[in-house]
Each structure stands twice: as C-alpha cells, then as structure tokens.
C-alpha cells in the first residue's frame, strides 16, 4: 500500500506533473491567447457559416468578461496562470481511444476556449468564478476525453482537501465512460501517478497525496447519501428523466468551498427531467436575460434556419469537424441515410446536429410547436363557437377536458386536467413527470382518492356550458359512456369519437397544417406540450394517421383531446359547406 501523504510542496508536484513531459517550446504556449483568438474568429461575421448563435454569444461573453476582469470595480479576475495550468495538464495526458497523430492530447482551440473560461476566471479569494458549466455539442466531438481530463485535474491539482470527483449518469455504463477514460489515462501516465501518489482500481482512482477519490455512480439517487463531491460530472444530462440525482449531488456538495458541476450533453428527446429547463436557462444566460456569473454555457448547435444537409454548417454543432476526417465521413454517411429513411432523420438532427426534438418518431415538430405559444384570449372567445373533447381513458392518471375555437383563421385551445392525489404522490416519488409542480402551478387539478373524481369534471363541463358558446363535446367510449349520458341529459350534444385512423386522420392532417403554418395558439401550456412531445403517429394501409398510445413515450391524453375536439369542429365546418364525403366516412357518432 502506498503512503498516504508526501512531503513535497504542492507547487513542486504540480510542476513535476506538467513539466515531466514538456519541452521548453511547449511551456511557452499562451493558452489564453489561443482562447482569445478563437473568440475573435467566432464573432467575425465572415465565419458565421462555421459558428452558431449560441457559441457566438458565448464568445462575446468571454471577451466582455475579460474587460470586466480588468475594470476598476471588477467582480472577478482572470488568471492566465490558472488557465495555463489546466491546459498544460490536459495537453500532457495520453490519448486512450482512437488513432491520433500525437501520443498525447493536442488541444483544439474550442477546447482551450472552454478550459480558459472555466478555470481562468477567478473570484477575489482565488476560487473559481464558475461553479457550474454546461458543455453541449454533438456526439463524437471528444467531450468525454476532455471532461475526463478535467476530472483528473480536479482530483490532483486543485487546492482541495479530500477531493471527491464524481462521474454520474442515468446508468452505470454511461457514468463509467468518463471514469474509464480517466483511469486509462492515469494507467498510461506514470509521471502523473508518481507525482500525486495515485493508484487506479477497477471502480475508483485514489489520490493518496490529498486523500482524493474519483469514482462513477448511477442515477439511483436514494443510495447516494454520504457523498461530498468537490467536482461532479453529470454526463448526458438530457437523459436524466428526474432531478433526483442532481438534487442529491448538489445538496451533498454544499460543504465544499470551491465546488464544480460540469454538465455534458448532446441534445435528446424532450423529457420532464432537468435538461429542458437547463437548456432554457443556459440560453437565457447567453442572451443576457438572466444574470448568472456562476454559470458557464458553451453550446454548439445548428441554428434554426440552417439546412441540416448543408455540409457548410455542420461545424456549428461539430467543432472537431475541421480536424477529424473520420467524423466528417460518419456524418456524411448518416446524412445520406437520413435523407432517404425518415425514421433516421430525427436521430440525425439530435445526435449529429445537436438540434432539439421531441421523440425519435415523434409526430410533433417541437420547434414549430413552441412558436405557437401565444396567448389564448378566453374573454374574447366566450361568444365564439366552441368545441370540446373529453379523454377519460385513465381513471388512475391523467383525465383531460379540452376546448378549441377558430377565430380569424387562428386555432385556439384551452383545457383542464385532473389527476388523483395518490397518482401525484406516486409520480412525484418516481419523478417520471413533475405532476406536483404542475398542480402547484394550476396546470393540473388534484382530486382526492385513488381514482379520477368525475364529479369534479362534471362541474367544470357545466361551467363551460354556462360561460362559453359550447356546440358539442367529443368523447371516447372507453370509461366515458356513463359520463356522456349524464351530459346528454343536461342538453349537451355528445359526439362519440371512435379511436382509429379513419376518425383521427382528418383532424391530424388539418392540425398539422395549422400549427406548422403558425396558425395555432396554445398559451405555452406545459402539460399539453409534454403530451404533444410524447405523441407518436401510426398509419393504416391507406396512410391514414392516428395516435399510437403504445409507442408514445408517456401520456398523450391532453393531445388526443385536442385532436378529437378539432375533429368535430372541422366536421361541423364540412357539414356547413356541404362537403361531407370524407367526413361521413369517419366513424364519429352523434348521441
């Protein structure tokens, strides 16, 4: 067993770790100058085919912050020494994956830019300015290698007693990716192990010099109590379906003087986990909407206007592209497949272009959907013809009542959702979706008991009948036949909407044209957006569409209610215009 402590001064060990492999020429590199030149290149308008909106904003922020660090009332400082230390350290770590021209890592300007940002800016007490960093870019751009190097640096080079470096992810295999790269680096670098008395084990890397530990953990958050991380790497944050692990680790790091959270990711399908809100927060920081001097955002992605099949813009999401011929070949191959195979298009957009999407085979274009988040003027719509739909398919989960109006060519929608109290508790415990938060925000109505309280739904429908120009309500016979009879007795026209392609197709085709053209308003409703992002379409032999509940990612009830309401509304319009041929072929039955 190695001794627990060493007698050398920390500065001597730092110099030994870095200088053991370095030549005099290498030690003269000004990493900060490289980062500054990269930032200048990014903001140069002639290079805007290569750099997207978010990295341009990040470069502008970096240059602006350098000026702030030199100002008389500077809120923080910039240390070229600290920036050089991290870059020197990583540039003398060995490659452990793939075939490269050099034995050790040759840092590219975009990597130097990230490192100088993260470690160069310092508070006046010497601690890092940034305690959190989001590093988002497409797959196969060496982010795991870079982050593994950061983990080893935080284990051995920072002035932290008993550092804990935690590589965390949704699964043990994913968490192990960064850890295993770091372990192989240390295994191949005897100078590093000797300088800091490091020993590598199967599941941990120990640094006896400072009592440090580097290990991987998965998302079983309830088992992670007792941790005290100084550096936390949350890999592929988009895949986390809950906030549990993040919450536990952030709480555990509360006692650290200089904690660091590094969030790495490629875009993913829309989930109720931390990624959507982290993405939005990061973008607001870059846009200057939110003032967050502690949060670093480096985001490489295609811009909304870009053609994903235009090679000239691929570098926006793939900063390693100009120096990696294998990466270029792989993207070209996948682009060819995505053009001819629609099922691979979404995956290409997400993983190779780092573009946001909903589900791999999702029916909704989430970018177009979010552009329709305009207000729904309920007061102005009270006298307009109104059509509703009830989706009561689940008595133990989500039940939905949704309304639609068509005014001045715009489709408006508003709705209510009910969920049993027991289900809210279960969903909150499992953190599958933030039901409790939606209840607190008024987007869901919690009812007592284990099953849906239909009396509450009845009261709301009757209120709508009294306050709006309600024409009719569509319903699914599953779990709703008795409720429909009750409403019919109150003078409400109920329309049975058979669940299948022939009923849904006219509505889905009409709705698709409506929202894609921007003629739809949903008021930014997060529950409806969640259901919309989950929905997957199926088709019959005649290419008629219907929602596929079995293949959809999670609940879609609120979205199916919208489609049913839209279906009877366009059916009524067809009736008035005398063009009923298609509509009468659909099995929608009046009660």
Q: What is the DSSP string of 189-258?
A: -HHHHHHHTEEE-SSEEEETTTTEEEEEE-S-GGG-TT---SEEEEETGGG--SSHHHHHHHHHGGG-SS
Q: Which of 313, 323, 266 is nearest to 108 (CA)?
A: 323
Q: Give residue 311's pLDDT.
A: 96
The CA–CA distances, whole Å, from 363 to 68, 227, 267, 514, 526 equal 46, 42, 18, 14, 17
Q: In terms of pTM, does the model score above 0.85?
A: no
Q: Give residue 432's pLDDT.
A: 44
- Determine contact, residues 556/567, Cβ cutoff 8 Å: no
Q: Which two structure tokens, joined as six digits, stand for 177?
A: 């990716």
The CA–CA distances, whole Å, from 379 to 133, 187, 382, 384, 445 equal 44, 69, 6, 10, 22
Token pair 């975009």 in the structure block, residue: 110
Query: Which residues neighbour 59 within 8 Å (Cβ) at sequence distance 6 or greater?
Result: 38, 39, 40, 42, 43, 51, 113
Q: Give residue 180's pLDDT.
A: 95
Q: Give residue 587's pLDDT.
A: 46
Q: Give residue 34's pLDDT.
A: 97
Show the DSSP H helices in 446-584 as ranges. 454-467, 481-489, 501-516, 526-534, 557-577, 581-584
Q: Give residue 24's pLDDT.
A: 39
Q: Give residue 433's pLDDT.
A: 60
Number of H helices and E strands in the chain, helices first, is: 23, 20
Q: What is the mean pLDDT of each run of 10 residues along the chain (591 residues)?
A: 45 47 54 97 94 97 97 95 96 87 92 98 96 95 95 93 92 89 95 94 94 88 71 90 81 85 88 78 79 92 93 96 93 92 82 75 81 95 96 80 96 96 74 74 91 89 96 85 88 91 92 95 92 84 84 83 96 58 45 51
User: What count of other Cβ atoms lies within 10 Å of the Cβ of residue 106?
Assistant: 12
Q: Give residue 280's pLDDT.
A: 74
Q: Give residue 23's pLDDT.
A: 40
- Determine contact, residues 240/168, Cβ cutoff 8 Å: no
Q: Which residues of 431-470 are buried (b: 16+ CB within 10 A; e: fewer)?
A: bbbbbbebbeeebbbbbeeeebbbebbeeebeebbeebeb
Q: Which two structure tokens, joined as six digits, stand for 80?
A: 């070229």
465-497 pLDDT, tens per residue?
Answer: 999 999 999 998 777 778 888 999 999 999 999
The strand pair at 399-407 and 410-420 is best described as antiparallel
Q: Render 287-338 in DSSP notation, one character per residue.
A: HTSS--TTEEEEE----TT--TT-GGGGGGT-TTGGG-HHHHHHHHHHHHHH
The CA–CA distances, whole Å, from 406 to 345, 376, 469, 544, 588 equal 33, 11, 12, 24, 20
CA dihedral 386, 391, 397, 403 (to 10 degrees): -10
Token pair 């990696």 in the structure block, residue: 324
Q: Give residue 579's pLDDT.
A: 43
The strand pair at 588-590 and 494-497 is best described as antiparallel
Residue 544 is classified by DSSP as -
Q: Which two structure tokens, joined as six digits, stand for 182?
A: 């770091």
- Determine contact, residues 209/13, Cβ cutoff 8 Å: yes
Show the DSSP H helices in 341-440 as ranges. 345-353, 366-370, 378-381, 421-430, 435-440
Query: Which residues neighbour 145 within 8 Å (Cβ) at sequence distance 6 or greater?
Result: 95, 96, 97, 105, 181
Q: Which residues of 139-163 are buried (b: 16+ CB within 10 A; e: fewer)?
A: bbbbbbbbbbbbbbbbbbbbebeeb
Q: Give residue 536's pLDDT.
A: 84
Measured over the CA atoms of residue 284, residue 288, residue 290 and residue 293, the dihedral's sign is positive
- Determine contact, residues 135/266, Cβ cutoff 8 Å: no
Q: Give residue 394's pLDDT.
A: 63
Residue 95 is classified by DSSP as P
309-353 pLDDT, tens per residue?
Answer: 999 999 999 999 999 999 999 999 999 998 887 668 888 999 999
Helix-strand-coil percent breakdown of the chain, rounded to 5?
45, 15, 35
User: How many angstroms separate the CA atoms of 293 and 273, rounded?
Assistant: 24
Work out the burial of residue 354: count CB atoms within 10 Å of its CB; fewer than 13 is exposed, 13-18 middle, 19 or more buried: buried
CA dihedral 90, 92, 95, 101 (to 10 degrees): 120
The strand pair at 260-265 and 132-136 is best described as parallel
Domains along the chain with CATH numbers:
12-299 (3.40.50.300), 368-590 (3.30.420.240)
User: How many angstroms separate the CA atoms of 157 and 281, rounded?
Assistant: 30
Q: Give residue 415's pLDDT.
A: 97
């Amino acid at each position: 067993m190695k001794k627990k402590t060493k007698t050398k001064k920390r500065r001597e060990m730092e110099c030994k770790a870095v200088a053991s492999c370095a030549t005099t020429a290498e030690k003269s590199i000004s990493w900060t100058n490289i980062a500054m030149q990269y930032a200048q290149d990014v903001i140069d308008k002639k290079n805007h085919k290569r750099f997207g909106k978010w990295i341009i904003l990040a470069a502008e922020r970096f240059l602006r912050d350098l000026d702030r660090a030199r100002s008389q009332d500077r809120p923080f400082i910039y240390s070229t020494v600290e920036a050089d230390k991290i870059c020197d350290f990583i540039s003398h770590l060995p490659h452990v994956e793939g075939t490269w021209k050099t034995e050790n890592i040759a840092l590219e300007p975009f990597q130097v830019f990230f490192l100088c940002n993260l470690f160069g800016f310092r508070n006046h007490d010497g601690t890092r300015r940034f305690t959190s960093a989001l590093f988002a870019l497409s797959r196969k751009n060496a982010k795991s290698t870079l982050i593994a190097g950061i983990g080893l640096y935080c284990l051995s080079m920072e002035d932290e007693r008993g550092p804990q470096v935690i590589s965390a992810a949704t699964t043990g295999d994913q968490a192990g990716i960064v850890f295993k790269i770091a372990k192989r680096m240390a295994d191949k670098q005897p100078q590093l192990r000797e300088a800091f008395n490091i020993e590598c084990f199967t599941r941990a890397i120990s640094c006896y010099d400072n009592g440090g530990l580097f290990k991987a953990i998965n998302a079983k958050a309830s088992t992670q109590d007792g941790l005290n991380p100084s550096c936390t790497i949350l890999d592929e944050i988009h895949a986390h379906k809950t906030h549990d692990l993040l919450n536990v680790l952030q709480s555990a790091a509360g006692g650290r003087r200089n904690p660091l959270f590094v969030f790495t990711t490629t875009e993913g399908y829309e989930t109720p986990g931390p990624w959507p809100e982290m993405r939005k927060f990061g973008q607001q920081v870059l846009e200057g909407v939110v003032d967050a001097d502690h949060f670093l955002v480096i985001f490489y992605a295609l811009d909304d206007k870009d053609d994903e099949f235009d090679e000239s813009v691929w570098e926006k999401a793939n900063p390693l592209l100009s120096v990696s011929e294998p990466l270029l070949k792989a993207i070209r191959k996948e682009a060819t497949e995505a053009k001819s195979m629609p099922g691979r298009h979404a995956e290409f957009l997400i993983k190779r272009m780092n573009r946001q999407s909903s589900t791999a085979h999702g029916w909704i274009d989430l970018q177009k959907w979010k552009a329709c988040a305009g207000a729904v003027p309920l007061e102005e719509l009270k006298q307009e013809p109104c059509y509703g739909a009830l989706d009561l398919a689940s008595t133990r989960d989500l039940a939905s009542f949704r309304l639609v109006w068509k005014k001045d060519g715009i489709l408006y929608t508003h709705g209510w959702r009910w969920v049993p109290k027991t289900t809210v508790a279960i969903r909150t415990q499992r953190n599958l979706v933030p039901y409790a938060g939606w209840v607190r925000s008024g987007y869901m109505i919690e009812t007592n008991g284990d099953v849906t309280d239909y009396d509450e739904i009845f009261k709301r429908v009757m209120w709508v009948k009294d306050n709006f120009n309600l024409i009719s309500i569509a319903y699914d016979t599953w779990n709703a036949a008795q409720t429909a009879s009750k409403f019919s007795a109150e003078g409400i026209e109920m329309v049975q909407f058979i669940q299948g392609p022939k009923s849904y197709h006219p509505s889905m085709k009409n709705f698709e044209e409506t929202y894609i053209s921007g003629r739809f308003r949903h008021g930014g409703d997060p529950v409806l957006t969640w259901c919309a992002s989950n929905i997957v379409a199926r088709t019959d032999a005649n290419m008629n569409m219907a929602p596929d509940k079995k293949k959809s990612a999670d609940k879609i009830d609120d979205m199916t209610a919208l489609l049913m309401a839209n279906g009877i509304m366009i059916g009524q319009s067809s009736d008035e215009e005398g063009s009923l041929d298609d509509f009468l072929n659909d099995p929608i039955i009046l009660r």
